[in-house]
Structure 1
């Protein structure tokens, strides 16, 4: 009686399976397949947010074992083997029944398991050797297909329209950060934002994003990003504070993600409370430097270039132009990266940082976020989402990166 709301094409799923198997050969030599536990990774590989486990054998068809929601899984996924299960101890028998038995050596996505569940898995399946297979799936997800990029481009268009064109018409100096947050939610939802932002780093959370007026941009932050934020409350250090107003002569930084069909883009837009002529020279210079760094790094970001090279270039330029102190955060807010991969998670591989030396590939999606914190003023700068192409990285979240003035 029911129909799926949407489906990932079977050909797209097969591409992902084949790519993951290829990476697994070098990430976990000798492993006969990969066990995947986290629901988002199961979605990526099957098309359904299944509560269970996916077994991807090196040879043969994948097996999706579902604890809850098997009817929905069969509606949404193009996989042929979708079966119920109750216990980890059932998995070898289930896999054998469908013709894809477990080998002695099994790779697992260990980041998808808590310590307790990992110990339980080993106890239930003591006859098998488990090795880490996380990086195989990480590398697979890092390179987007044209099918994925079409969704991300649409997301980016709506993102830029919301932040650059629509929100400036509905905010004004004197509003509190929390009031501005509510305007952002309203505009975003009106334009197709689907509400849920996802992060993969352990313990990190995202709710709307950062709404930082004036010195909130340098407020001490535990979030792994350069932009400071007061947030709602110490228990919810995200979004915007009801007690902080955006005053005349202050910057406002909105670092907010957008999501369409599960895929996200990341973007930061800076506004100024006042006429363009009232922007101080130090603010103008710092923001202009961030645009130059973003554009230079994007032009460099071609297949074969490493993320580390991009990061070291940005650091050298910041030092050369006198922005080293506030570049990528003031004081303890400073972060050791320039950007990050993005897709189904906001914070995907690779980080634009030291020690990330695997070359970029065409089809990767990167968020580049050069920012400068200015003591006593706040933070300015940019963030946009880019698609890596043979001729450099192209922004999919707009092409005007200037400060928007609101009087």
Structure 2
């Protein structure tokens, strides 16, 4: 055993609460499964407290088994799990689990998104006597409901995020800056405040790096990212942050949609700036911004335990239709996205999205990013996004409460 110590350890009580949530949802999602097995590093961290290469077997009862390729020593230092074993091949999993006193069951829930097709075929060929059924929804639903331990981290993340975008960045902005210059200033501010640098997406093949810095019509430029705010990005192969060739002109919006992460947990926030006094903002822009703020408030008010996620989406879309904003709401043309928010936590794009078809009861402790935005042809995109914690009285913003456009004169 190593004499080294980890500077941060996820409490065993926290892990036990996570295991209990998975065991709560597993019979609903995969009623025949005797447990769930996970392969992605993020899910391994969620269930074990260590971001290692391997797998985790969580049976319906008893102690989980953490299988480790690399690094066994790191896992032993960081994870409170009692059953930590080395393995080299998928064929080793069953005998090692049996040896640890937690044999694999004939039918198992599996984190299918945690393996490539190639590795999935290898798994089933090496373990042909077992039946694997999709268990991803178990993990998604478990992670959607945050513990108080997680919420404390996220509240601090949201606070620092608001400090960066509302208090610090405005002092550094000047009309005429390129999007890339603004992105560099923002990175410096974020890092000074404790941003860890590496953000994560859950969706396969989706990437993120800082977020979007969109000046003027960049906000309605076609985006490959599954979000309403457009951007030109650094380069076609790196459609992130902002372009060094796109400048923030006078009397134009600047939309900054960037995530903040600490201890693995994210907040999401969009702040719109205007290059000029408030008197120079066209009525069309002010009205669109106010509409988005109203839609954020409507959604937040209805993020109450027992309400249905898809009903919140339908309510906001009906109001957008009523007020005549549907054409540019949540994007223009083919860039319009079919959601008005999403869960958030260990990934930016957490479960569930606030969208049609997600007939899921909202629970206290869930956290959502609500992001109503309005595209304006010839101008760009305005709107808001903030991170909300579900409480008995509705969603409470943990990323600030000042949602107006910030004018830079």
TM bucket, shorter chain: over 0.9
Runs of 4 or more, structure 1, over 2 Å off, are: none
Task: Give the one of 233, 238, 241 matched to 1:239.
Answer: 241
Q: Distance in 2 between matches of 1:2 and 1:157?
A: 33
Choose the corresponding residue for 1:86, options 85, 88, 104: 88
Aligned counterparts, 1:292-371, within 5 A: 292-371=294-373
Query: How far apart in 2 are the matches of 1:28 and 1:316?
Result: 35
Correspondences of 1:171-320 after superposition (within 5 Å): 171-320=173-322
| Equivalent residue, structure 2, for 1:64 | 66
Q: Which residue of 1 aligns with 2:171?
A: 169
Match of 2:122 in 1: 120
More displaced 10-residue stretch of structure 1: 379-388 or 16-25: 16-25
**Pairing 1:18-97 to 2, within 5 Å after superposition:** 18-97=20-99
In the alignment, which residue of structure 1 is the partner of 2:381?
Answer: 379
Question: SS where residue 130 of structure 1 aligns?
Answer: strand
Work out the CA distance in 1 between the residues paired with 2:70 and 2:147. 30
Instruction: Note the C-alpha offset of 1:79.
Output: 0.6
- Select 2:137's aligned residue among 135, 152, 158: 135
Instruction: Write the deviation string for residues 168-211 of structure 1: whole angstroms up to 9, x where unpaired.
Output: 00111100000000000000000000001100111110000000
Q: Distance in 1 between matches of 2:62 and 2:146?
A: 24
Offset of residue 235 of structure 1: 0.1
Cα distance in 1 between the residues matched to 2:357 and 2:348: 20
1:304, distance to aligned residue in structure 2 (A):
1.1
In 2: Cα distance, 1:224 partner to 1:238 partner? 12
Aligned position for 2:393: 391
1:356-383 per-position Cα deviation (integer Å, ceiling 9, x unaligned): 0011000000000000000000000000
Where do 5+ consecutive residues of structure 1 fail to align? none
CA distance in 1, matches of 2:6, 2:194: 19
- Distance, in Å, in 2 between the alignment partners of 1:215 and 1:173 is 15
One of 147, 157, 160 as aligned partner of 1:158: 160
Could you tell me how far apart the structure 1 residues matched to 2:174 and 2:4 are? 46
2:100 match: 98
How far residue 3 of structure 1 moved from its aligned partner, in angstroms, is 1.1
Give the superposition deviation at 1:137: 1.0
**How far apart, CA to CA, are the structure 1 residues paired with 2:97 and 2:177?**
58
Give 3-state SS (helix, strand or coil) of 2:407's partner.
strand
Q: TM-score, normalised by structure 2?
A: 0.99
- Give distance in 2, aligned partners of 1:18 and 1:305: 23
Q: Supply the distance in 2 between the matched residues of 1:319 and 1:136 (Cα, whole angstroms).
A: 35
| Aligned-pair CA distance for 1:387 | 0.3
Q: Secondary structure at the match of 2:339?
A: coil
Note the residue ranges of structure 2 that are not aligned, 5 or more in a row: none
Q: CA deviation at 1:261?
A: 0.5
- Secondary structure of the residue aligned to 2:234 is coil
Count residues with an aligned counterpart.
407
What is the CA distance between 1:335 and its match in structure 2?
0.4
Q: CA RMSD in A?
A: 0.7
